[in-house]
Amino acid sequence: MKDIRMILPNPASDTAGAASLLFQLDGLSIIHDAAGSMESYITFDESRELEGKRTVASRLSRLEAITGDDRILLDKIEQECAGNPPPFVAILGTPVPFTIGTDLEGIAAEAEFATGLPAFAVNSGGFEIYDKGAGEALKKVLEKTAQQPSGHTGCIVNLLGATPMDYSPAEIDDITQQLLARGADQVNNLTMTDGMEQIYKAAEADHNLVISVAGLPAARYLKQRYDIPYTIGVPFDSNIEAKRPAAQNRVLIIGESVFAKQLAHIVSQIPGVTAVAGIIGNDDTEIFPQVSSIRLDTEDKIINELRNDYTVVAGDPLYRLLLPPGHNCVFLERPHRALSGRLYPFSEYQLNHYLNELKRCLT
């Protein structure tokens, strides 16, 4: 029963990750799932206001699933697109189509032919973590809709992998300000801003900044297709001075790979501090390979890791529940919506708040 979560909720699924990434783009995102199964993807995992958005359920009936009648879904898509054509149609997989082997890409090809609109499928199935679905969705929407670059002046930077699953709107604003302060003339926040404008212009960028593991497939695509270089990281102000702590400090930062590893990397530069990134979701060897990290993909692994006498632990408030009795660590809270959904409000802090707090917690 090692994989059973007795205390924590499950992190958001790949389907929810894809839905979250596409949410603000105003395309038609169809979650192809059994009627009544939208609850977890939207009600729990999606924290933004649904009104006016076109993230909908296909409301797959029992008989449609059994007979594999894709025509019903295609009719619904054509109907939905007829009056008010969206900029794209995305068909998001869930456990039912995954299990019956529905050809989502084939349906998307037919939908594209029938509506004349760009259409693609995200092969999510609910068996993977949110970042996998978000990563596929971002790459595919760019493949389908990014326009050829037409030339520009100034330095443009794209933010890749921004979703509320990992970052609050305030943090994304802060990342944007940090990049502008460091010399960017324009920062394109591709996915946490309303509409398709930034997506259409994505190939114009001079540089891509990958702020979560979900941004990597798109970064690799834009590099290969348009030769746009990319950097992985989060622009904390790493020059903040820190005094050498009196004792040896062991810091565990639990969260999304890029965020947790970036923070661990900065903190571990402080003399007397060792830092470990505890990764929730997927990881990639390209992301800060020099940083000590561990994948925490089961509740057991998190519990075991928290027994390692860390002096400081940073992560979603829910991880407090797993701390061993009589622990002595300082716990720094940063809600991770991919885990705790709407249980906690979005962080209003700037990014450096966490870095400063971490340093303050060192003993």
Partner 1 sequence: MKRIAIYGKGGIGKSTTVCNIAAAMAQEGLCVLQLGCDPKADSTSAHLHGERQTTILDTVRTKGDNFELSEIIRQGEDGVLCAECGGPIPGSGCAGRGIVTAFDTLKAHNASEVYKPDVLLYDVLGDVVCGGFAMPLRSGYARDVFIVTSGEKMALYAAANIAMAIDNFKGRNYARLTGLIQNSRNVKDETQLVAEMAEELSVPVAGIIPRDGLIQLAEEQNTTVVSAFPDSELAMIYRQLARTLYQLAEEVDT
Give the binding site for partner 1 (CB under 8 A): 68, 98-103, 105-107, 109-110, 113
Residue type, 132: K
What residues contact residue 19 under an 8 Å CB cut-off, 6+ apart? 29, 31, 41, 42, 45, 46, 55, 92, 133
Q: What are phi and psi of 232, to 5 degrees?
A: -105, 125
**Residues forming a β-bridge with 207:** 157
| Cβ proximity to partner 1, 109 vs 155, nearer residue | 109
- The residue among 102 and 257 lying less far from partner 1, judged by its C-beta, is 102
Min CB(69)–partner 1 separation in Å: 11
Nearer CB in complex with partner 1: 48/76 = 76
**Residue placing its CB nearer to partner 1 in the complex, 87 or 93:** 93
- Smallest gap from Cβ 113 to partner 1, in A, equals 6
User: For 300, what's the count of Cα atoms within 13 Å in the CB-facing half-sphere?
Assistant: 4
Q: For residues 95 and 149, which CB has a smaller minimum distance to partner 1 in the complex?
A: 95
Which 8-state DSSP code applies to residue 268? T
User: Which positions ≥6 away from 175 have C-beta within 8 Å?
Assistant: 159, 167, 187, 209, 211, 234, 235, 351
Which C-beta is closer to partner 1: that of 103 or that of 309?
Answer: 103
Q: For residue 360, report the phi and psi dihedrals to the nearest 5 degrees.
A: -65, -30
CB nearer partner 1, residue 102 or residue 249: 102
66 vs 246, which CB is nearer to partner 1? Answer: 66
* Strand 230-232, strand 273-279: pairing: unpaired
DSSP result, 279-340? E-S---TTS-TTS-EEE--SHHHHHHHHTS--SEEEE-GGGGGGSPTT---EEEE---HHHH
- Kindly list the strands in the beta sheet with 230-232, ordered across the sheet, starting from the edge strand earlier in the chain: 186-189, 156-160, 207-210, 230-232
**Least spacing, CB of residue 74 vs partner 1, in Å:** 9
Minimum CB–partner distance for residue 110 and partner 1 (Å)? 5
Least distance from C-beta 273 to partner 1, angstroms? Answer: 35
Closest separation between CB of residue 291 and partner 1, Å? Answer: 24
DSSP 34: B
State in angstroms the smallest separation of the CB of 97 from partner 1: 9
Least distance between partner 1 and beta carbon 96 (Å): 11
Is residue 186 helix, strand or coil? strand
Assess contact for 247 and 224: CB atoms under 8 A.
no
Contacts of 343 (CB under 8 A, 6+ apart): 317, 318, 335
β-pair partners for 90: 29, 120
Q: Between residues 107 and 156, which has the closer beta carbon with respect to partner 1?
A: 107
User: Smallest distance from the beta carbon of 94 to partner 1, in angstroms?
Assistant: 14
